[in-house]
Amino acid sequence: MDMPVLPPLLSFVLLLGAFLAWICVPLIPAFIELIKPRDAAPLNAVGNDAGRLTFFADSYTQLATQEGLRGAMVPPRLSDGSVVRSHSRGRPIGAAPKSITDMVVLMDGEPPAEHSVLEGECLARVTIRGNPNVTYRALLGQRDILLGHDSTILRWVHARGRLDVEAGTRLLGRATSDQSITLATDVEFDRLEAATIHVAGANTAGSIAPAELDAPSGGYRPFTPEKSVSMGPNYWRVTGDLVIPTGAELVGSVIATGSIIVSRGARVSGSIKAHGDVRVQSGGLLLGSCAARGRIAIEAGSRVSGPIISEEEIVIESATVGVVGEMTTVTAPTVLLMPGTTVHGAIMAADGGMTLPSS
C-alpha cells in the first residue's frame, strides 16, 4: 500500500515549524523569566561606557609629555604641525570672535576670557579658576580646576587635583578627578568619577568607614522575610512587595518580584534586588548592592555601601553611597542628586544626570 504524499507547501510549512521550534528551545527559560520573573542574577547594566573614564585624559597627558607641553618652553607646534597657543597674564589669547580650534596651554592661573570657546584640547599647568560662560572641548588640569558658572565641557575634563563645578555648568562627557569632585546645584552631567563626589549645599551624615561594615548589630532585631523561598544560605526570593521594618536587620540577600522598602532605621547586611522600585528610607543602612528594574530612591541620612543600578531612575537625597577608600558605581538612565549627597566612585547616567536643590 502506497504511503500518502503530503503536498509540497504543507511539507515545507511543517519542516519550517519544526526548525523554528528547535532553535527556540534554548530560549524557553528566558520566555518563562520574562512572563514570571524569579531570577537572582544582576540586572543588565545601563551605563554607556565600559572602559576607563580617564582614557582620554591619560592619552592627552602622554601626548603633552612627549610634545614638551609641560616643559619650561612650550613649542609653537606639535610634531604633526598642529598649532599650539600659549595663554598667560602677560600674553592672553583674548576673547576671539570665533571659536579657537588650536590647542591651548594655560601657562599660569589666568583663565580664558568669558564667553571663550576652545574647540581644541586645553592644558592647565597650574590651578585654574575658570571664568563664567566658557566652553571647553577637553580640559586637563595638572592641579585643581574650578569651572565658573554656566561653563560647558563638550567631551571631557580631568583634574589631577580637585574638580569644583559651579552652578549652571554642563558636563556633557566625562568629568573625572584624581582627588574629588564637588558639584553645585543645577549642574548637568553624564559620567563622573573620583574617590569622592559631593554635592555642595547641605551637611552630610558622613561617609561609611570600612570599620562600620563590621559594626555589631545587636541593636537590631532579626528579620526573615515571610512567605519567601530560600535560594541558599541567607538568600531569599519574595513574591510581591517586601518591607523591612524599622529597627530590624536582614542578614543576607533578597530578591523580590515586586518593590522593596528598607524602612527608617532598618539595616540590610547583604544585597537587595527588586523587579519593581526600591526605597531606602532615612536612616536606613544597606551594606551591599541595590538593583531594581524600577526607580531607586535613597533618602536623606541613609547609607548604601555597594553599587546602585536601576533601569529607570536613581534619586539620592543627601545620602552616602560607597565606602571611603573603595570605588563603587551608581548607574541608571537618569540620576538625580540632592545637596549633601556623597558618592565614592563613579556615576553614569546614560540619558543625563542633574544636581537639584533640596525638595
Asked if 174 contacts 157 with a C-beta cutoff of 8 angstroms, the reply is: yes
Same domain, residue pair 219 and 135: no
244 and 338 inside one domain: yes
pLDDT at residue 201 in the model: 82
Q: Which domain holds residue 74?
A: 55-178
pLDDT for res 232? 87
Are 171 and 68 part of one and the same domain? yes
Q: Give the pLDDT score at 258.
A: 96
Please report whether residue 73 resides in a domain: yes
Look at residue 38 in the predicted model and tell me its pLDDT: 44
Domain termination residue (choose one: 136, 160, 178): 178
In three state form, how does the secondary structure of 70-129 look? CCCCCCCECCCCCEEEEECCCCCCCCCCCCECCEEEECCCCCCCCCCEEEEEEEECCCEE
Task: Tell me if 299 is assigned to some domain.
Answer: yes
Q: Which residue has the cell 536613581?
A: 314
Q: Of 157, 178, 199, which closes a domain?
A: 178
pLDDT computed for residue 46 by the predictor? 41
173 and 214 in one domain?
no
Q: Report yes or no on 217 lying in a domain.
A: yes
- Cα of 223 vs its chain's centroid, Å: 31
Q: What is the pLDDT of residue 317?
A: 95
Look at the chain and report how many structural domains it folds into. 2
Where is the domain boundary, 178, 199, 230? Answer: 178
26 assigned to some structural domain: no
Q: Are 159 and 286 in a shared domain?
A: no
Q: Residue 311: inside a domain, yes or no?
A: yes
Number of H helices, E strands in the chain: 3, 31
Q: What is the pLDDT of residue 27?
A: 58
- Residue 63 domain-assigned? yes
- 102 and 232, same domain (yes or no): no
Same domain flag for 218 and 174: no
Q: Do residues 229 and 279 share a domain? A: yes
Q: What pLDDT is attached to residue 239? A: 94
Pair (163, 69) in one structural domain: yes
Residue 1 lies in a domain: no
> 325 and 227: one domain?
yes
Residue 17 belongs to some domain of the structure:
no
Indicate if 251 and 330 belong to the same structural domain.
yes
User: Within this chain, do residues 237 and 344 fall inside the same structural domain, yes or no?
Assistant: yes
- Segments of the chain scoring below 50 in pLDDT: 1, 33-34, 37-50, 204-205
